[in-house]
Chain A
Amino acid sequence: MPKRTDIKSIMIIGSGPIVIGQACEFDYSGVQACKALKAQGYRVVLVNSNPATIMTDPQFADATYIEPLTPDICEKIIALEQPDALLPTVGGQTALNLAVQLKASGFLDRHGVELIGATLTSIQLAEDRQLFNDTMREIGLAVPDSKVVSTVDDALAFAKVIGYPILIRPSFTMGGAGGGVAYDSDELRRVAANGIQQSPLGEVLVDKSLLGWKEYELELMRDAKGNFVVVCSIENLDPMGVHTGDSITIAPAQTLTDKEIQRLRNMSRKIFDRVGITTGGANVQFAINPDDGEVYVIEMNPRVSRSSALASKATGFPIAKIAALVAVGFTLDEIPNDITLKTPASFEPSLDYIVVKIPRWDFKKFAGADPVLGPQMKAVGEVMAIGRTFPEALQKGVRSLDIGMEGFGSQVDSDLRPEALSVPTAQRLFQVASLIAGGVGFAEIVRQTHFDPWFVQQMHDLMAIHGSVVGKALRLSDLDESDLRKLKHYGFSDAYIADLVGVDSLAVRDYRKRLGVEANFYRVDTCAAEFEAMTPYLYSTYEMEDEAAPSHAPKVMILGGGPNRIGQGIEFDYCCVHACFALREAGYETIMVNCNPETVSTDYDTADRLYFEPLTAEDVMNIVDREQPAGLLVQFGGQTPLNIARDLERMGAPIWGTSVDTIDLAEDRERFNALMRRLNIAQPSGATILNREEAAGAAASIGYPVLVRPSYVLGGRGMAIVFDEAQLLAWLDDHVEWGGHPVLIDQFLDDAYEVDVDALCDGAHVTIGGIMQHIEQAGVHSGDSACVVPPYKISYFHLDIIRDHSRRIGLALGVKGLFNIQFAVKDDEVYVLEVNPRASRTVPFISKATGRPLARYAAQITAGATLADLGFLDEPSVNGFFIKEAVFPFQKFPGVDTRLGPEMRSTGEVMGHASSFGHAFVKSQASAWLSLPESGVVFISVNDFDKPLVAKMARDLAKLDFDLLATEGTARWLNQMGIQTRRINKLSEGKPHIMDAMQRRQVDLIINTPRGSQAHEDGVAIRSLAYALGIPIVTTMSAAAATVQGIRRMREKPLSVRSLQSHYEAMM
């Protein structure tokens, strides 16, 4: 069946901000869908609130709306654009839920918009737990005993019937938000209440827990003709009970026979038929009893997903692209296999390698969060590694994580007890290594973890090799070629081997190369070498023959950012992809190196050549040796590539753009301070200390409050503002392991405004890309603060100083490419807080606001272009207001204090834009899933410093007909000022208190500003509950002022929407 010609224009909904459970894999799938449909001549209308995505770059759609993903806004866009069809399956759960709302309300039908790629019935059948389970039973498939309940009492009653442990999963949430395991009725009460609250339907599925069962997933594809293929089978290392997103997974499945795999395939096909998945990709999860093979169907996702992105990268079969094409009528046999070019997409990939995915967690960011993994996903990112065997892939995966582990057993903890393994945590994999090293037997590991014995045996083999080197106290020279080959076959990195034999990793590399033990590169070809792979998608291994076949073209290698984590996410992938596009256009062959399967950068058609490899100096250098690139770009992938830049340069890699020395100059405090003094640019006073004893004195001479942080960190990890010596020492003891790594203590500029500048420098000229003012005042990490362009509250005088400083710093550092400076303005003085000589988190945002592709320009500069060549000598102007707002994962970490501080904790961002500040702010909040009320009750609780400011704001809110509610102190203050305010009890004052009012939805907006050591339990509880209930909460006065401004504007005039394309057109 050829493509449909009765539809001309298709709307695609993106997944919005990066959150836990929904990350940049949907940028990858969205980009694929946009590209595929545009290439077929369809007009593509795209909606996504996330400016950091590649998909929202104007060239990927005909009309790009960076607008809130709410039904109201989508309706406005549909009314304006009149698309013929809506494709809801490539934007994650967000897009699916939104499409359901638009369809169910009749809006799509009224506007003649056809849902393609899924039907309302199929979505509902797949997504509604009870309906799905009933349907499975109807077609003879087993599902765990379960029941949908909407009250805690019903959950308890059902638990009595089926027995504990009990699994709770809310309906219609992503990443299993609000889910949990309960071992007794007390736990069940808590978990069920939380789940019911979080489900948009107010209901949860109460399940028999299948702890210890094996978990598998099939990624599937089907076209309108009924042609059906299994793209990939995935086996979870972690047994049932741990969310797939938090599980280490392996592809293809390793411990099933053909009959068992075909049974799952047949079941999947039956499920497709019954649920009505007629076109597109979907996955089905199964649980299998390891003792007798009994199969339960767990769930199906009727859309592309995180695991389909993984499966696409694991196999070379681009699920989202093909899902988009079959949605518009193509059949699989009409679509060519992009890798072989000769064979069709109607086949099942055969893998002759092993893929291991390992999640990346960031628990350190969330003090007090429950570290136990369960049905609710907690990972913020993931890595994928490809090896010829499981041990090789596992070790490559571990070192891809960028957590300081060189391999599976590279850090052994001898104080563990085997029982620790029965609790799934982020550390469990490494605990297994430690316990094996400590002599704990195979059977005991299996018993505690319920990992399949096959994997445990492979882990044992790895540790046996580790032990054979360590146990004999071998030196490097004791290892001969065959020993080294064996170590390499098992994935041991040079750095790991170096640790085992007590030398430097460079020594291992030199020795290894002398013996001729070199990495070879194999192609991912979808067909296990049956056909020649025309598309160079490569991974390293130490088996014979090399398939890289490098060309002699001038080429540039771009290092990606590795796994998403807080502080380093999709923004950097955006920059890498742009760098790649720019250099390809400039005539270079581009080579991408990355290990994050969720990204656009690891799509095999982003760069000319893709190396799916860990971002370690060794792995990157192996590629450099083979490819001999003219240049290597390290400034686009965030801190990860910068951290290895020095080693790469030492090994002879040609680093383009900003030099390694400049990177060091910006990051070395002493050198940087000296430079600022020379340039006569103010900095907050500060000190670098190397031990605990120096700390108190240094802080006292600077004057409290002070900002403390370990040096060389990204995303402000461990950073804090401390107000006195006791806090300072407590922080040091919690966060610092002395031993050479310095700690920085800085003056904290209280009440300052912070400003971020992204700029370009070609060595001779600096052009400012954008100046962003933070909406939250100083003290909130720049990644967590909302910010606005153009700056709305800074004088021209200060802006000119900022421009002058930026120019002089760029030139003095000798930056070639992008750099970012953080400034603070306080009492008429402009301070420089930090300079990053690399692409920053805000580059995509500024590029969207100005319509100028900063990352592309930077890449061209690294290749020798000047700003004059690029025609980019002047700071671009901005029409209207663009506001970036951060999005936080607090819902996943109940009990964690949600107040913002100097440690970054947001996972993603959204953008709101409009001609007025107020509307832009309202949109930014709506995009962050906080819909500001136009009226109702506002609860105000502010610290003493903010009391003078609160009166005006409260008066404004009262004028807007809000009812004011406050606890004793604030209420008395406001009433004294003549603003009528109702008093409500604090928690300690007994019921009914503020949290009761929140639970009863009697509060529509919360303004709560904690400060310093005054943070108290009430505040933590209120903020946490507000997140759980989705009540908009503002924690700084400046954000509160912006909120009031937004509400006022919203009441004056309804929101309107505008595509980026028409916005840019109007600017010209």
Chain B
Amino acid sequence: MKAALVLEDGRVFPGEGFGAEGVSTGEIVFNTSMTGYQEILTDPSYHRQIVTMTVPHVGNTGVNLEDPESVKVWVAGFVVRSLSPIVSNWRNRGDLATYLKDSGIIGLSSVATRALVRHIREIGVMRAAVAHGREAEDTDALVDMARSSLDMSGANLVDDVSVQTPYDWTDESDAQWYGDHPAAGDRPLIVAYDYGIKRNILRMMADRGLRVTVVPAWTPPAEVLDMNPAGVFLSNGPGDPAAVDYAIANVQSLLGAAPIFGICLGHQILALALGGETEKMRFGHRGGNQPVKHLASGEVEIASHNHGFAVRADSDLKGGEITHLNLNDNTVAGLRHHELRAFSVQYHPEASPGPHDSFYLFDEFVDAVHGNRSSRER
């Protein structure tokens, strides 16, 4: 059936529809990961974004029960070069088209994705509409819809994706993928702010003997401190970090009270809480192949990225220092504030999808948490 992707600047990319029918709008972004589309689809950080994959064949391995990173598909639309005509993988439990259809998400195949990606690279990310079905014929209307859709700058999307009530997380990761993890002894409590948290972050913490309570993004600091956490975690999530003012304020009041670890949006919120600034990038970093230099050791991690905003390298972090740089463009990839026992990274050490080079950050969090407990016990 007729389908199209229409950008706010008027460019039209025709395609063949799959998944749900109808129209949807969002910011068009590209991801260069060659594997892991199911993890990407279910990453809440993609809320209100239409994602195109640079890898041409998508859907080859179908979908399974193990790989989703959250309870649902979050992307606002999914655009690929070639939807697989078949599913082939021993773990598969279904095909991508049905999965998207059941999730109410529009998919587009046979799209000239490289031309699209080059366009985004040159012009920057922009708003777009995907249409599958009759609506796809009226491209003018779709341009209007794209233009009147949400602007990512200034958008607080955390409210849409955060859990409404706290819950405890105990699941550990599967050893066949992540190796064995030592049985936990005492289990210090981590309170994790859910700005759109990925499951693998929770598993990584659980694997390391941390007891995790996930709380809504807007949970007041006092409630958090009442839980007497050994550490606080700030999760990844969608939208403009600067728009989530309550989160910035909450983190500000938590600084110093417990070790803090932030990932992605959590990293940006920590930076803002410290007094830094964030900015929107032209087209962001989304992929599993980005080189991140750990400045202290000089070692390079190949890291999974998914962000469209970044902490400005020239902003004043009030005693916080930059610990990691993305070597492709020297943007800030990690920071730390020693006295306040807070650190964060812009990228995704939990991988899923992507390489596992950065798991050590969870170990550092565990160390910080144990340091916190022993200092309190003294």
Contact = CB atoms under 8 A, between A and B. Distances in A.
Interface in A219-263: 225-230, 233, 252, 254-263
A545 B112 contact: yes
A263 B354 CA distance: 11
A529 B30 CA distance: 10
A257 B114 contact: no
A346 B118 CA distance: 23
A229 B302 CA distance: 7
A347 B291 CA distance: 5
A529 B114 contact: yes
B323 interface: no
B210 to A, nearest CB: 22
A522 interface: yes
Interface string A528-560: 111110000000000111010000000000000
B81 A350 contact: no
Contacts of B373: none
Contact of A348 (B30, B64, B288, B329): B288
A324 interface: no
B84 A454 contact: yes
Contacts of A344: 291, 300, 327-328
Given A254-B60, A255-B60, A388 B117 contact: no
Quick one: which of B84, B291, B354 has the most chain A CB within 10 A?
B291
A502 interface: no
A352 interface: yes
B101 interface: no
B177 A458 contact: no
A351 B34 CA distance: 7
B67 interface: yes
Quick one: which of A261, A342, A528 has the most chain B CB within 10 A?
A528
Nearest to A350: B32
Interface stretch (A176-184, A288-296, A298-306, A853-861): A288-296
Contacts of A527: 32, 289
B88 A349 contact: no
A388 B114 contact: yes
Interface stretch (B51-59, B183-191, B306-314, B341-349): B51-59
A332 interface: yes
B56 A333 contact: no
Interface in B334-364: 351-357
A261 B327 contact: no
A258 B112 contact: no
Contact of A265 (B64, B91, B115, B356): B356
A257 B298 CA distance: 31
A453 interface: yes
A52 to B, nearest CB: 37
A544 B12 CA distance: 12
Interface stretch (B35-43, B130-138, B141-149, B261-269): B35-43
B36 A529 contact: no
Contact of B355 (A265, A529, A532, A543): A265
Contacts of A461: 85
Contact of B32 (A226, A290, A530): A530
Contacts of B47: none
Given A352-B114, A543-B115, A544-B112, A256 B299 contact: no
Interface string B161-190: 000000000000000110100000000000
Interface in A261-297: 261-263, 265-266, 289-293
A390 interface: yes
Contacts of B287: 350, 528, 530
Interface residues of B, number: 56
B56 A350 contact: no
A877 interface: no
Contacts of B293: 333
A354 interface: yes
A258 B35 contact: yes
A457 B291 contact: no
Nearest to A457: B86
B55 A347 contact: no
A116 B351 CA distance: 34
B318 interface: no
Given A262-B351, A333-B327, A350-B55, A389 B33 contact: no
A262 B356 contact: yes
A531 B302 CA distance: 17
A388 B38 CA distance: 22
A505 B306 CA distance: 48
Quick one: which of A233, A262, A289 has the most chain B CB within 10 A?
A262
A343 B329 CA distance: 7
Contacts of A352: 32, 54-56, 81, 113-114, 117
A230 B39 CA distance: 21
Contacts of A454: 60, 84, 86, 88
B49 interface: no
Given A262-B355, A543-B114, A528 B32 contact: yes
A259 B67 contact: yes
Interface residues of A, number: 60
Nearest to B61: A257
A452 interface: yes
A331 B300 CA distance: 9
A293 B33 contact: no
B353 A258 contact: yes
Contacts of A453: 86, 88
Contact of A227 (B38, B86, B113, B299): B299
A353 interface: yes
A646 to B, nearest CB: 35
A266 B302 contact: no
A449 to B, nearest CB: 14
A332 B112 contact: no
B89 interface: yes
A289 B90 CA distance: 9
Contact of A528 (B55, B64, B352): B55
A226 to B, nearest CB: 6
Quick one: which of B34, B35, B81 has the most chain A CB within 10 A?
B34
A293 B66 CA distance: 14
A332 to B, nearest CB: 6
Interface string A86-117: 00000000000000000000000000000000
Contacts of A545: 112, 114-115, 118
Nearest to B37: A258
A207 to B, nearest CB: 23
B325 to A, nearest CB: 10
B215 to A, nearest CB: 28
A331 B30 CA distance: 29
B24 to A, nearest CB: 23
A168 to B, nearest CB: 29
B53 to A, nearest CB: 9
B45 interface: no
B121 interface: yes
B82 interface: yes
A262 B177 contact: yes
A331 B354 CA distance: 22
Interface in A827-845: none
**Considering the complex of A and B, which 8 residue pairs feature the smallest CB-CB distances, nearest first?**
A258-B36, A528-B54, A258-B353, A258-B35, A457-B86, A348-B289, A454-B88, A350-B32
Interface of B: 30, 32-36, 38-39, 54-57, 60-61, 64, 66-67, 81-82, 84-86, 88-91, 112-115, 117-118, 121, 176-177, 179, 287-291, 293, 298-300, 302, 327-329, 351-357
23 contacts: A252-B34, A255-B88, A255-B89, A257-B67, A258-B36, A258-B353, A262-B177, A290-B90, A331-B298, A344-B327, A350-B33, A351-B34, A352-B54, A353-B56, A354-B56, A388-B56, A452-B88, A522-B114, A529-B121, A530-B121, A531-B121, A543-B114, A544-B115
Given A256-B35, A333-B293, 16 more contacts: A230-B355, A233-B34, A257-B61, A258-B39, A258-B288, A265-B356, A289-B90, A293-B90, A331-B300, A349-B289, A350-B55, A352-B54, A352-B117, A530-B54, A531-B121, A543-B112
